[in-house]
Amino acid sequence: MTTTCQPSSCHFCDVILFNGCFFAVEKNGRTFSLHLSSLRLTLAANPVFGDAYDGDGDKKFLIESSSGGDMLLVDMISRQLDLDDLSDFEYDDVEDHGNAIATTDITLKIRVFRFVQRDQSWVQVKDLGDRMLFLADSSTFSASASDTLPLYGASVFFHGFIFNGTDLGSIGDKDVAVCDFRSQKMKLVRQHPQYANLFWPPPSWIIDKIPSPIPPEKIPSPIPPEKKRPSVGLVPVRRSARRRSQNKKYLD
């Protein structure tokens, strides 16, 4: 049976072009494909149901895997901290950071699913292998750690809020973080040089693929300082010798 979706009843979290077709995913994981010939949204995958502890994640990302050519669905699970999470802290410390605690959704877990087209379903991925996933609000991509350094395999990089269990002051700081997919431990990239070095200096697998708008040989050389034209307000005005002599005659 073919299921279609009316645009007014669908609320999509992410869209991707995969194998020549557009796919869009809703918050519950239900996924539709857009057939360009008919311009109709057709059901591609049923909703992803969360487990008993976490429930469905509130943020979804679609991404094409760097290995195997699979389409992946990343389910990011976030929530506000509760009293059980803060039981090891003094009351005054909790009160001082109360606003950030009450208004910030902390990323607690990241799950990944693989699209199985023939079953119209998402199958949970238990291990990412050497794959690295990079998630952002405007783009996503995947890379193989074997092309860079094996250290970074099975990692998910994202921009969001995390809590390490010891520092309440970092709750309200949205920053680049990394999730070790196997252990589900979250870390801030800037606090761990082994991860920060992955981005700076920019590695060749990033800068080599960024097209330059102007070929280097056609970039004009800067004007030497001594040849720069002075601004209009600073142009010196020189009076002619004749005008100076006339003024001197009138003064005499």
Question: Per-residue pLDDT tens for 25-73?
Answer: 988 888 999 877 777 888 999 888 654 334 466 788 999 987 778 999 9
Neighbours of 249 (CB within 10 A): 8
Is 51 within the bounds of a domain? no
Is 11 within the bounds of a domain? no
Domain range spanning residue 201? 58-216
In the chain, the number of structural domains is 1
Is 147 within the bounds of a domain? yes
Which token pair is 210? 């960024």
Which token pair is 157? 């990089």
Q: Is the pLDDT of residue 171 over 50?
A: yes
Cα R_g (the chain), whole angstroms? 29
Which token pair is 90? 């003094």
**Does pTM surpass 0.75?**
no
pLDDT at 55: 46
3-state secondary structure of 128: coil
Is 190 within the bounds of a domain? yes
Is 237 within the bounds of a domain? no
